[in-house]
Structure 1
């Protein structure tokens, strides 16, 4: 389904300008971006919106965009993504197809990651990797309309409905710090596919029921939905559960970075503290902050866990005129989960490699 809207058209116009200026064909650029030429063509014509800004940023780098152009691309992508989310909320969920009255077909059981683990336990290495890879693909596939992960999981206090809030928040719960991610997974190496790119991290994590190891970087793109200014008064941490560090296998490895922000504010969160709270870092400004329709803001919250496993979420308190509320920010309705790392070995994966290896000895690890 084609994506329409002024915001998407403005993003596409700049993408097309950069592509034409580069002198590279759709085929060459698409190959380097690991996508089809037809998909890239639709992005540049405004017929589809890239599901993650990381895709836009990598295209900009290939076309040698300036830092100013990259910042403008990010602003336009946020505006288009916010418009897409508003359109989804307006339309509501698609109607369920009618089920014939007379049918003898047996119900299809729901496939869950836990069930997948049991099935993989007795399967061969190749079958296990293929099965997980297919599941990752299903979870990360944005579809032809460019839709993807990261929708707002919001609950407002005071009885006000979430869709009435004058701001939109797009959440990336598994952003990368220093272009890498480390995860704890309760599966042996033979059943774990190669590490994900930043764009694919959410699907990879959810398919394997992985948990960020040591720290978790959550990115919040916040934008007003109208002309009025929205003040972000406070950002709070709520811990829902704690426990011992997970004794699972530790996986790291290569990755691909996402893009740079428009305006940012970064926070550190010590999950080992008795009452964790975000602390502004590197001299950056903390709340109160502000956004409106034309001035988005990207918040980065880096949560650290060195002593325990923690389940947690964020609360973003806002006000606009005589209106106010609190948005709950979590992982698609579930708390974020971050675990400290014990003394387990770490396994890595080389770019272009075919298997996991022990990071200390360099020896391949097959099971």
Structure 2
């Protein structure tokens, strides 16, 4: 396969995974611990990852099955080979387990008490001295150090048909010893950490559903209030609200809107049984100033949603109807009623509106599901996996942005009030 074709084949598979997931480059990059621009270069074919591990994590995150991941790994191998210069052929084959032959050096000039000529430093750990040229044999130390354990990687590499360097780059392990240790630790901890895992019983299969979350939404797409410690720069467009808020260290003021998109991963339907709210931390509301980001629009449709009062001791997600006022008579949009079935072809969007006046709350959503005799619960946080955070803004000074004067002005001046 031509070099460019190999790289494009790999990039096409990565683009397909990204399109299947539906999240932005920034959101996916955070999950993979790479920047949005780096992920974009993988998708465009401008760059081939040094290690397959990051691509494998992307495949798992996007719900790829075992066959798709094997095809992706094969495509990465071809693309990686195409981007690298050919490796020079070794001078001679070495027997399994043998040490590389030392580089031949010219014999030293005869002279009194010739010192031994050191060979190439192949072993960096302490051990008995080695001789690579004629000379007096070094006396063994009184308490010799043991030889280091032989490197196992070439054996595994020969068994798989891959060079040892490729094996290390493929999975991102710093060395074979670390890799072997990781396998041992994984096997040892599997019985404890894997859900449903117990001695004599196989691990429970993975959840049959997938979801995406967006938590920097504006009310009807028109506006939102943030609490900020100091005066922020001008407000962003709604699509850039997340990065703007993160740069200011802003916190949702009074209300947080969360949209969760859920769908099945296989042919079987998945039944959503219930939606719960778990508050994991409460403290006093932040004493910061409230800044109202508002486009001044007015939405004709109020979507159906779940309303949550975070000030209650045990908050409950209560389903509410929506309303469409765009027609002449208007119509009610029925609330989501559990149990509710989703599948690959029939996803569902759950909109949650959580509000507080008396706390700085950190909280999660928990979604119960069942499918083909199995049940489970998934915990849903913001796009970074952290809990959502909402702080009461009652009594705080409120500022709106004057686009003509290009300055933040008080709520009374802007007509927004507290």
Question: TM bucket by the smaller chain?
Answer: 0.5 to 0.7
Q: Which residue of structure 2 lines up, in the alignment, with residue 218 of structure 1?
A: 258
Q: Which residue of structure 1 lines up, in the alignment, with residue 408 of structure 2?
A: 356
Q: How has the CA–CA distance of structure 1 residues 287 and 350 changed in structure 2, closer, same or farther, with 3 Å as cutoff? A: farther
Q: Which residue of structure 2 lines up, in the alignment, with residue 167 of structure 1?
A: 209
Q: How has the CA–CA distance of structure 1 residues 359 and 325 changed in structure 2, closer, same or farther, with 3 Å as cutoff? A: same
Asked whether the 8 Å contact 1:252–1:349 carries over to 2, the reply is: yes
Asked whether the 8 Å contact 2:227–2:250 carries over to 1, the reply is: yes
Correspondence 1:185 to 2:236? no
Asked whether the 8 Å contact 1:253–1:350 carries over to 2, the reply is: no
Asked whether the 8 Å contact 2:275–2:366 carries over to 1, the reply is: yes
State the structure with more CA Rg: 2
Q: How has the CA–CA distance of structure 1 residues 301 and 6 changed in structure 2, closer, same or farther, with 3 Å as cutoff? A: closer
Question: For 1:269, which of 293, 302, 308 is the aligned residue?
Answer: 308
Distance 1:256 1:5 in 2: 38
Q: Which residue of structure 2 lines up, in the alignment, with residue 288 of structure 1?
A: 339
Unaligned runs of 5+ in 1: 12-45, 49-81, 95-154
Q: How has the CA–CA distance of structure 1 residues 278 and 161 changed in structure 2, closer, same or farther, with 3 Å as cutoff? A: farther
Larger RCO (alpha carbons 8 Å, 6+ apart): 1
Question: For 2:287, which of 241, 247, 251 is the aligned residue?
Answer: 247
Q: How has the CA–CA distance of structure 1 residues 285 and 311 changed in structure 2, closer, same or farther, with 3 Å as cutoff? A: same
- After the TM superposition, which residues 125-204 of structure 1 pair with which residues of structure 2 at under 5 Å, given as runs? 158=196, 164-178=206-220, 179-187=222-230, 189=231, 192-204=232-244
Asked whether the 8 Å contact 1:239–1:313 carries over to 2, the reply is: yes
Q: Which residue of structure 2 lines up, in the alignment, with residue 66 of structure 1?
A: none
CA deviation after TM superposition for structure 1 residue 288, in Å: 1.1
Taking structure 2 as the reference length, the TM-score comes to 0.48
SS of equivalent residue, structure 2 residue 276: strand
Distance 2:18 2:279 in 1: 37
SS of equivalent residue, structure 1 residue 316: strand
Question: For 1:278, which of 297, 317, 321 is the aligned residue?
Answer: 317
Asked whether the 8 Å contact 1:198–1:256 carries over to 2, the reply is: no
Q: How has the CA–CA distance of structure 1 residues 186 and 230 changed in structure 2, closer, same or farther, with 3 Å as cutoff? A: same
SS of equivalent residue, structure 1 residue 341: coil
State the number of aligned residues.
230
Distance 1:197 1:162 in 2: 44
